[in-house]
Structure 1
Amino acid sequence: MLNQIKTLRNKIINIPRQAKATIIFILASLITRGLSIISTPIFTRIMSTFEIGEVNIFNSWNNLIYLIVGLSLSSGSFNIAMKEFDDRDGYISSILGLSSISAILFIIIYFLFEDTFLNFIDISNFLVYIILLNVLLKPSMNFWMMRQRYEYKYKKMSIMTIISSILSVGLGVFCVIYASKNTNLSLANVRVLSMNIIPLIISIYLFITLIIRGKEIINIKYWKFALKLSIPLIFHSISKQILDVSDRIMIQHFDGLDKVGIYSIIYTLSSVSLLVWSAINRSIIPYLFDVLSEKIKKNKLKKIVNTLISFYAITCFLLILFAPELISILATDVYLDAIYLVPPIATGIFFTALYNIYANILLFYKKTKMIMFTSISAALINVILNFLFIPKFGYITAAYTTLFTFVILSIMNYYLSKIIHNGEKIYDDNFLFGISIVLISVSMPVILLYDYNVLRYIIIFITLLLIIIKRNDLLNIIKELISDNYDETL
Structure 2
Amino acid sequence: MSLLQKMNNSLSGRAFIYTVGNFVLGASNFLASAIFVRMMSTSDYGLASVYITWVALVSQIIGLRIEGTIQNAKLTYGKESLKAYCSSILFLDLVVFLVVLVLSIIFIEPVAFLLNLDQGVWLLAVITAFFLTCSNLRKCYCSAIKNAPGDLLISCILAFAQIGLSVLLILFSVCDNSYFDRVWGYSVPTVAVGVGVCVFFFFKGKRFVAPKQWKFCLSFSIPMIFNGIAYLVINQSDRLMLNSMVGSDAAGIYSFVYNIALPISVITQSLGAAWQPEYYELKAQGDEDALKTHERRYTLNVLIITVILMCVSPEILKLLGTQDYYSGLVILPVVIAGYFFQFLYTWPLNCELYHRNTVGIALATLVAAAFNIALNIFLIPIWGMVGSAVATCAAFVLLFVMHHISARIMVDEYTMTLKWFAPYVIACVCATAALTFLVDVLAARWALSLVLCVLLVVRFKKNRSII
Both structures adopt the same fold (TM-score exceeding 0.5) = yes
Change (3 A) 1:167 1:13: closer
Give the whole-Å Cα distance in 1 for the aligned partners of 2:323 and 2:375.
29
Letter in 2 for 1:241: L
Residue in 1 that maps onto 2:170: 176
SS of structure 1 residue aligned to 2:263: coil
Give the whole-Å Cα distance in 2 for the aligned partners of 1:291 and 1:215.
32
Letter in 2 for 1:174: L
Letter in 2 for 1:468: V
Give the whole-Å Cα distance in 2 for the aligned partners of 1:480 and 1:271.
19
1:340/1:447 contact within 8 Å kept = yes
Residue in 2 that maps onto 1:408: 398
Residue in 2 that maps onto 1:432: 421
Aligned length: 465
Residue in 1 that maps onto 2:236: 245
Report matched runs for 1:59-74 at 5 Å: 59-74=52-67
Which deviations, in whole Å up to 9, do the C-alpha atoms of 1:184-227 show, x marking residues without a partner? 71101101211222232232233344334444543333322221
Deviates more, 1:464-473 or 1:261-270: 464-473
Residue in 1 that maps onto 2:140: 146
1:54/1:123 contact within 8 Å kept = no
1:112 aligns with 2:109: no
Residue in 2 that maps onto 1:51: 44
Give the whole-Å Cα distance in 1 for the aligned partners of 2:161 and 2:273.
27
Change (3 A) 1:200 1:169: same
Which deviations, in whole Å up to 9, do the C-alpha atoms of 1:417-472 show, x marking residues without a partner? 33345597447x53532221122123223333233x3xx41342134224314532
Match of 2:92 among 93, 98, 117: 98
Residue in 2 that maps onto 1:485: none
Letter in 2 for 1:307: R
Give the whole-Å Cα distance in 2 for the aligned partners of 1:278 and 1:52.
25
2:67/2:140 contact within 8 Å kept = yes
Residue in 2 that maps onto 1:314: 304
Report matched runs for 1:58-457 at 5 Å: 58-76=51-69, 79-80=72-73, 83-84=76-77, 88-179=82-173, 185-285=176-276, 288-289=279-280, 292-293=283-284, 295-298=286-289, 300-420=290-410, 422=412, 425-426=415-416, 429-451=418-440, 453=441, 456-457=442-443
Deviates more, 1:143-152 or 1:255-264: 143-152
Cα shift at 1:476: 3.0
Compute the TM-score of the two structures, normalised by the length of structure 2. 0.89
Change (3 A) 1:48 1:297: same
Cα shift at 1:88: 4.4
Letter in 2 for 1:198: P
Give the whole-Å Cα distance in 2 for the aligned partners of 1:74 and 1:276.
21
Residue in 2 that maps onto 1:488: none
Change (3 A) 1:28 1:235: same
Cα shift at 1:173: 2.1
Compute the TM-score of the two structures, normalised by the length of structure 1. 0.85
1:61/1:121 contact within 8 Å kept = no
Deviates more, 1:136-145 or 1:341-350: 136-145
1:29 aligns with 2:22: yes
Which deviations, in whole Å up to 9, do the C-alpha atoms of 1:301-354 show, x marking residues without a partner? 444433332332232223222233111122110111121111211111111111
Give the whole-Å Cα distance in 1 for the aligned partners of 2:375 and 2:40.
30
Q: Which runs of 5+ in 1 are unaligned?
A: 1-8, 482-490
Give the aligned CA root-mean-square deviation in angstroms: 2.9
Cα shift at 1:372: 1.0
Residue in 2 that maps onto 1:484: none
Letter in 2 for 1:305: E
Change (3 A) 1:303 1:21: closer
